[in-house]
Amino acid sequence: MAKMETIAVDAYAKVNFTLDILGRAEGYHLLDSLVCTVDLADKVIVTRRTDRRMRITAVGEGASAFPARSNAQRAADAFSAAFHTDGADIVIERRIPAGAGLGGSSADAAGVLRALAKLYAVSDMVRLKSLADALGSDTGYLLTGGWARITGRGERVQPIADMPPLYLVLLLPPAGVSTAACFAAYDCLAAAAPPQTERALSLLRTWGARGAAACGNALTAAACACNAQVGGAFAAAMALGGEGCGMTGSGSACYAVFASEEAARSAAGRTANYRALCVRTVQPGERPEGTGDRHGRKTD
């Protein structure tokens, strides 16, 4: 059988429906978060090389600001060192907005690991997860994606089955939020929020979109302190009239939840002051690999 020379995978964005902060340990914030991937994706295309070099090119959204030493580059180098493979030419077609709390950097790193594993027939998921966890708190989760509850620093991933699909309108302020700055602001504010994850999981599983009223993110006030545009986006998301709303990750993107694609698109069409994207939650294997995003399109 001939060796595969080129592999393409989708690197999906994620949305945090809850994000609780339960304390700190060894300098890290301890999280409890209900999260799911959505059908807004970067595409990672890897082509086999005959030397050990891992060369990455980014095109599309925010490509001009793509760092030379990105998480994707670190993932590629770590993969080669761990599995002693040849290199690859890697193209990342970017669609996930940066600095929005949608996990774009982590998605790219996880996508690179998945694509290289397919290219070089590596099936050691335990080793891949270890490499991913060393790259960032969301990267190990995004190796698989779907509905999950993530705890600890984000390295403990509990997949969740039998969750109904949700449709979201994402509202994106012009400027992003630095994750490090947001956590620092959270520590300065010292205003702990009550945990939401257990209740939100129960209500969303039982009631679908109607359970989204239980969504909550302990970092929301800190993100607003870092970037005043986040507060405006959150208010705009509330005004869309969905079943619930929230902020994902450390911001800056806010969202409103709807029970149908039609309702989400109608609401997005009423958004005047923010870039709006309509997305749907997706589970692993739900869509053929390499198909890209379907709902993640700009509405204006």
What does the pLDDT read at residue 290? 60
Q: How confident is the model at residue 272 (pLDDT cuts 50, 70, 90)?
A: confident
Is 107 domain-assigned?
A: yes
Query: Tell me, what CATH number does 188's domain have?
Result: 3.30.70.890
User: pLDDT at residue 210 above 70?
Assistant: yes
Give the total number of structural domains in the chain: 2
Q: Give the CA distances from residue 206 to residues 164, 181, 215, 263, 265, in Å, rounded to whole numbers and listed in that order.
A: 9, 36, 14, 20, 24
Among 130, 159, 188, give the residue marking a domain's end. 159
Percent helix / strand / coil, the chain, rounded to 5: 35, 30, 35
Domain boundary among 159, 190, 224: 159
Residue 55 lies in a domain: yes
* Shared-domain flag, residues 139 and 205: no
The single residue of 20, 39, 108, 138 carrying the catalytic annotation is: 138
Residue 110 located in a structural domain: yes
pLDDT at position 292 is 52
| 217/246 same-domain check | yes
Domain holding 109, by residue range, is: 6-159
- 14 is known as an active-site residue: yes
122 and 223 assigned to the same domain: no
- CATH, residue 153: 3.30.230.10
Say whether pLDDT at 63 is over 80.
Answer: yes
Quick one: average pLDDT of 163-190? Answer: 95
Quick one: which of 138, 137, 131 has its CA closest to 76? Answer: 131
Q: What's the rounded Cα separation, in Å, for the pair 214 and 206?
A: 12
Which one of 14, 39, 42, 129 is the catalytic residue? 14
Among left, alpha and beta (phi > 0; psi -120 to 50; other), residue 295 is alpha
In the listed set 98, 127, 159, which residue is the last one of a domain according to the structure?
159
User: Do residue 85 and residue 149 come from a single domain?
Assistant: yes
Give the pLDDT band of residue 240 (cuts 50, 70, 90): very high
Do 133 and 241 lie in one domain? The reply is no
pLDDT tens, position by position, 6-48: 999 999 999 999 999 999 888 889 999 999 999 999 999 999 9
pLDDT of res. 64: 80
Paired sense of beta strands 28-48 and 275-282, if any:
antiparallel
Residues 217 and 245 in one domain: yes
User: 31-40, pLDDT tens digit by residue?
Assistant: 999 999 999 9
Indicate if 196 and 273 belong to the same structural domain: yes
155 and 176 part of one domain:
no
Query: Does the bond joining 252 to the residue before it have cis omega, within 30 degrees of 0?
Result: yes
The pLDDT confidence band at residue 288, using thresholds 50, 70 and 90, is: low
Average pLDDT estimate for 294-298: 45
pLDDT tops 50 at residue 295: no
| pLDDT tier, 67 (very low <50, low <70, confident <90, very high otherwise) | confident
